[in-house]
Chain A
């Protein structure tokens, strides 16, 4: 199971790097909180609009932060050198994909652990309910799977920083649509759509994105 070992080594390396140079991580967390504030202004959430806008605001914020984290995964300056090194070594491409993917899931998880309580407070919603946590967790996994693939694709392209979200957002849209609906139901929203298995849809999306990523990564990271 050397590929698993390689994957975990990559996760450890990336997380250690982020922990050492904490600026990016801290700035991203602050930015995510700032997004909550900005959306509060944009959607005029004093009053009964809060409830209607709340699920969307959460997912839009996480999407925004997720795009930044995704960009970081393959593109950190010193990372370019180590990526070349990884590719030259006989490391299984799937292991690289898995390592980057897990690193992103953990990073997003840490971010969400801080953003969700703030979100629950700002918008006075039970955001730590199981329904919300499960859909956010599943959505994060699916998003990370797609983001890792597109990050690997974009790394060789010009305008990389813009291309990554350009590729990622349309693909992530089913996750966002299902996630917002699931969160809406979990926050006590209207019964419309409560019968649909949103969480199962998101989980299915995770499986599809992971499978697709693992299947094609060899061709992307040649």
Chain B
């Protein structure tokens, strides 16, 4: 079997030609330009179109970033859960790659959620932090998925890392509904979810919030795809390296 055939027959994403690999690695293109334009349009809406809030003033605009961060963190960890279940069920490496990528972007967005929350809380509530139900459970959520990422890096064997990562990805997901439920179970300083209550927010707030949500969702998706391609490529490089090692050994 020629080396080309051997390489092509590697499980997963084997590469046989320069062009093939280059196509699947990200290049900044028209899509990224569109994303950048969407970001700028949203920032314009947030700062120029939206009026300042009556009581809180301009600082209220942080909400346009804070709420999407929270929502997308949930989406990310739901993706991790789904990909983890899929991996344990079908053992497809692609599912594992998605779990890793989504977890990483999820941790990034959770970090930004906490940071924007703190920066919003200080001027509005007077304190940097409070140990109410929502903030506490969100912080626990952060630790849980940081733990997930650390375990993934700490296990050398890729198959074992994927398998144990999948178990963690499933078990860790219990924290996501916990954050939501904690708000209803305990009185909390944090505002209760008001987006789902009709009429709670009027005027320009809801449309701009939804626009921001859409914009950050696109950014989120782009980041996950970028990271996913990197994970995939690294797995492939490992397989190629192994092949090289085998050939040179003989």
Report whether B147 and A167 are in contact in the complex, using a CB–CB cutoff of 8 Å.
yes
Q: Within 8 Å CB of A166, what residues of B?
A: 143, 146-147, 150
The yes or no answer to B75 lying at the interface (CB within 8 A) is no
Q: Within 8 Å CB of B166, what residues of A?
A: 219
Q: Within 8 Å CB of B174, what residues of A?
A: 208, 212
Report whether A158 and B154 are in contact in the complex, using a CB–CB cutoff of 8 Å.
yes
- 141-166 of chain A: CB within 8 A of chain B: 149, 153-154, 156-160, 163, 166
Q: Within 8 Å CB of B155, what residues of A?
A: 156-158
Q: Contact check: which of B156, B164, B175 meets A158 at CB < 8 Å?
A: B156
Report whether B147 and A170 are in contact in the complex, using a CB–CB cutoff of 8 Å.
yes
Q: Contact check: which of B88, B154, B164, B171 meets A212 at CB < 8 Å?
A: B171
- 197-219 of chain A: CB within 8 A of chain B: 208, 212, 216, 219
- 108-166 of chain B: CB within 8 A of chain A: 140, 143-144, 146-147, 150-151, 154-157, 160, 163-164, 166
- 49-63 of chain A: CB within 8 A of chain B: none
**CA separation between A159 and B144, bound complex, in Å?**
17
A222 and B163 in contact, given A157-B151, A159-B154 (Cβ under 8 angstroms): yes
Q: Contact check: which of A163, A171, A173 meets B151 at CB < 8 Å?
A: A163
A220 and B151 in contact, given A170-B140, A170-B144 (Cβ under 8 angstroms): no
Closest to A219 in B: B167
Q: Within 8 Å CB of A163, what residues of B?
A: 147, 150-151, 154
Q: Contact check: which of B143, B170, B175 meets A216 at CB < 8 Å?
A: B170
Q: Within 8 Å CB of A169, what residues of B?
A: 143
Report whether A216 and B171 are in contact in the complex, using a CB–CB cutoff of 8 Å.
yes
Closest to B166 in A: A219
Q: Within 8 Å CB of B156, what residues of A?
A: 158
Q: Within 8 Å CB of A170, what residues of B?
A: 140, 143-144, 147, 175
The yes or no answer to B168 lying at the interface (CB within 8 A) is yes
A157 and B154 in contact, given A170-B140, A170-B144 (Cβ under 8 angstroms): yes
- 32-50 of chain B: CB within 8 A of chain A: none
Q: Within 8 Å CB of A216, what residues of B?
A: 167, 170-171
Q: Within 8 Å CB of A154, what residues of B?
A: 151
**CA separation between A169 and B143, bound complex, in Å?**
9
Q: Contact check: which of A157, A171, A173, A220 meets B167 at CB < 8 Å?
A: A220
Q: Within 8 Å CB of B140, what residues of A?
A: 170, 173
**Chain A 160-201 interface mask (CB, 8 Å, partner B; 1/0):** 100100110111010000000000000000000000000000
- The number of residues on chain B lying at the interface, defined by a beta carbon within 8 Å of a beta carbon of chain A, is 22
**CA separation between A171 and B175, bound complex, in Å?**
9
Q: Within 8 Å CB of A156, what residues of B?
A: 155, 157, 160, 164
Q: Within 8 Å CB of B168, what residues of A?
A: 153, 167
Q: Within 8 Å CB of B160, what residues of A?
A: 156
Report whether B167 and A167 are in contact in the complex, using a CB–CB cutoff of 8 Å.
no
Shortest Cβ distance from residue A196 to the other chain B in the assembled complex, whole angstroms: 9
Q: Within 8 Å CB of A171, what residues of B?
A: 144
Report whether A220 and B143 are in contact in the complex, using a CB–CB cutoff of 8 Å.
no
**CA separation between A27 and B174, bound complex, in Å?**
36
**CA separation between A222 and B151, bound complex, in Å?**
17
Footprint of A on B, CB under 8 Å? 88, 140, 143-144, 146-147, 150-151, 154-157, 160, 163-164, 166-168, 170-171, 174-175
26 of the cross-chain contacts (CB-CB < 8 Å) are A153-B167, A156-B155, A156-B157, A156-B160, A157-B151, A157-B154, A157-B155, A158-B154, A159-B154, A163-B151, A163-B154, A166-B147, A166-B150, A169-B143, A170-B143, A170-B144, A170-B147, A171-B144, A173-B140, A212-B174, A216-B167, A216-B170, A216-B171, A219-B163, A219-B164, A220-B163
